[in-house]
Structure 1
Amino acid sequence: MQAAARTLSDRLRGIHAATIVPMAPDYGIDEAQLAIHFASVTSTPGINGLLVNGHAGENFVLSFAEKRRVVELAREHAPKDCLIVSGVNHESSLEAAREAAALEQAGADGLLVFPPNSWALGHADDCVIEHHRHIRDATTVPLMLYAAPVGAGAMAYAPPLLERLVADPRFVAIKEGSWEVATYEQNLRLIRKMRPDFVVLGSGDEHLLTSYIVGSAGSQVSLACVVPELVACLWTAAEAGDWENARAAHEKLYPLAVAIYRDAPGGRATVRLKACLKLLGRLSCDAARPPQLPATPNELRALEQALCSAGAL
């Protein structure tokens, strides 16, 4: 197990695209478009893997069978050496464990455990440990934690709880999405002190550059499914210590990150990602499942302007 964990840890370094799931007008998954999406993103130099069934992939509105099918298609259409991590997101710990086992069987190299949305209302630390334990005991692949944005309230793990989670040797990495620089550095330092081998992926799309300066092994970000070349360029420059070129890439990326993620309401990110891909001619239908509505004229204008600033249009 330790060898497998080290292998996954090494492969997690760099940029991994968190992908969307194309839908037909009737909201069914468009498997042909999804296959093209996977192949297109992973063919970009510098993209080392995929995060499927993440928030960008609408994991909270996909069925059990659909999530499994997403992993199967990723395994089929991505390069053989492409690392595939699948999100696990379910309110029930029992169903989350069942889902995790199925996603592993479908071909996922690792699993990212998302906190259920109900935890935003508050939860006991022991319940969080129990949820992760059910998933751990149902699987054999290496597991990842998810640090939720500080704006998500109780979904974000406080340091004492994060310590308990990181102490489990089955967990080898974290998608650090605190979306707040001070908390990111606090969590990074806590984790490095406990487990220097633990992989911390700075994955707040708006402050990737800051994360790389503070310290990061890479990122799992949905921005990389829209402008993968630019995100890979930012990481390559940062890893080489070429901060001038890293800053130049950041300047191109920042307006797009703001238009997708920061402009209220934040829950519109997936809709905006799909709208970007349609504007770029990479998606024929940008439908997202209800209750999300199509991109508004104002959103489309902001996205088009940001894509131009990024040099993508």
Structure 2
Amino acid sequence: MSAPADHGGLFAATICPMTEDGALDLSSLERHFSAVLADPLQDGLLLNGHAGEGVFLGRAEQSDVVAAARALAPGKRIIAAVSAEASHAACLDAVAALRAGADAIMVFAPFSWALGADPRAIEAHHRAIASATGAPIYLFQGAVGAGRTAYGEEVLQRLLAIEAVVGIKEGSWETRAYDLTRRIARAARPDVAVMASGDEHLFPCYMLGSDGSAVSLSALIPHLISALDGAVRQGDIAQARAIHGVIFDLARLIYAAPGHLAAARIKACLAALGRIASPACRAPTPGISAAESARLMAALRPCLDFGT
């Protein structure tokens, strides 16, 4: 049986730079990947997730993102997210991502499940992708209050019974729910890596116990996420608290309501830093106002200056 460490680690949930007319900006994408991976403690990348606007990308575009990452990071692990509503489409997306160089697939809950989904359908969707790919599968545990995208214990038990499942991106956004998911997984499948993914709550989740993280803040401040993880693991709680203090102020602005603007806010910061050419997102996502961008940058500066 594998240990959770075999499938956990620190993964940056990257964004996908675009031009003003909504086309993929592969040049900025490569610069973005290089900047994130300049932190040697990042174990890999999570591509085409919510931060990467994967739901807005066609299958060929998703594959292009994966191929670009694989070319730049031959020694890193790449997890590709799939978000399609129909199982058949999700299977095709997953197979294409693996052919482009992904090591594993993360199954994001289709957004329609927030309105309701039969547990049998949720299980069948994951089993179909596992069967079609033969690849390691990561689950995505949705935020508390996000309908059936937040899996209850019964559904988690069904999904953990799928042999291909090796990890969970735990995005409950509540430490109690995080710990419950972690306990359920430890009891049912101690080999499954449970990775903290509530950017505002990484410190308490790391303290409770985590096999890493998969967060979009690592697309912006990867060095601080790895520093926080390292401080907790080394028992330097004072340092961990200090890092949490600067991360929290930034995270609460990026992930404030409406939450679907988180990717746009991260892009606004990256563009202001000159790391990508444009903050543009694919329609219908609106841009970030100058006033909000100023607030974001004011919170980002202490993160960039921390420890210097």
What's the TM-score bracket when you normalise by the shorter of the two chains? Answer: over 0.9
- Return the letter of the residue paired with 2:66: V
Q: Quick one: distance in 2 between partners of 1:110 and 1:207?
A: 25
Runs of 4+ in 1 over 6 A off after TM superposition: none
Judge conservation of contact 2:13–2:216 (CA < 8 Å) in 1: yes
The one-letter code matched in structure 2 to 1:132 is H
SS at match of 2:75: coil
Matches within 5 A, 1:221-300: 221-261=215-255, 263-300=256-293
Partners in 1 of 2:89 and 2:107 — Cα distance? 13
Structure 1 residues 101-112: aligned runs within 5 Å: 101-112=95-106
- Tell me how large the CA RMSD over aligned residues is: 1.4
1:296–1:11: structure 2 CA closer, same or farther, 3 Å change rule?
Answer: farther
Inter-partner Cα distance in structure 1 for 2:8 and 2:126: 24
1:17 is matched by which residue type in structure 2? A
Task: Confirm or deny that 1:20 pairs with 2:22.
Answer: no
Per the normalisation by structure 2, the TM-score is 0.96
Question: In the TM superposition, what is the alpha-carbon distance from 1:106 to its structure 2 partner?
Answer: 1.1
Alpha-carbon separation, structure 2, partners of 1:67 and 1:119:
22
> Map of 1:18-57 to 2, 5 A cutoff?
18-57=13-52
Post-superposition Cα deviations, 1:50-86, rounded to whole Å, max 9, x if no partner, equal 00111100011000110011111110112x2101000
Same amino acid, percent of matched pairs: 42
Shift of 1:312: 4.8
Distance 1:153 1:84 in 2: 28
Match of 1:301 in 2: 294
Amino acid at match of 1:185: D
Report the TM-score, using the length of structure 1 for normalisation. Answer: 0.95
Unpaired runs of 5+ in structure 2? none
CA distance in 2, matches of 1:11, 1:163: 21
**What is the 5 A alignment of 1:37-116?**
37-78=32-73, 80-116=74-110
Q: Is the 8 A contact 2:7 2:166 kept in 1?
A: no
Contact 1:255/1:309 (8 A) holds in 2? no
Q: What is the aligned counterpart of 2:196 among 186, 194, 202?
A: 202
What letter is aligned with 1:267?
Answer: H
Structure 1 residue 151 displacement after superposition: 2.9
CA–CA distance in structure 2, aligned partners of residues 277 and 199 of structure 1: 30
Deviation per CA, 1:135-188: give whole Å up to 9, x if none: 011102211000001131221111111111011111011000010111111111
Please list the CA deviations of residues 183-203 of structure 1 after superposition, one character each: whole Å capped at 9, or x if unmatched.
111111111011111100011
Whether the 8 Å CA contact 1:201–1:219 is kept in 2: the answer is yes
Q: Distance in 2 between matches of 1:205 and 1:301?
A: 21
**Equivalent AA in structure 2 for residue 293 of structure 1:** P
Uncovered stretches (5+) of structure 1, i.e. residues with no partner: none
Number of residue pairs aligned between Structure 1 and Structure 2: 306
* Amino acid in the other structure paired with 2:163: P
Q: Does 1:10 align with 2:5?
A: yes
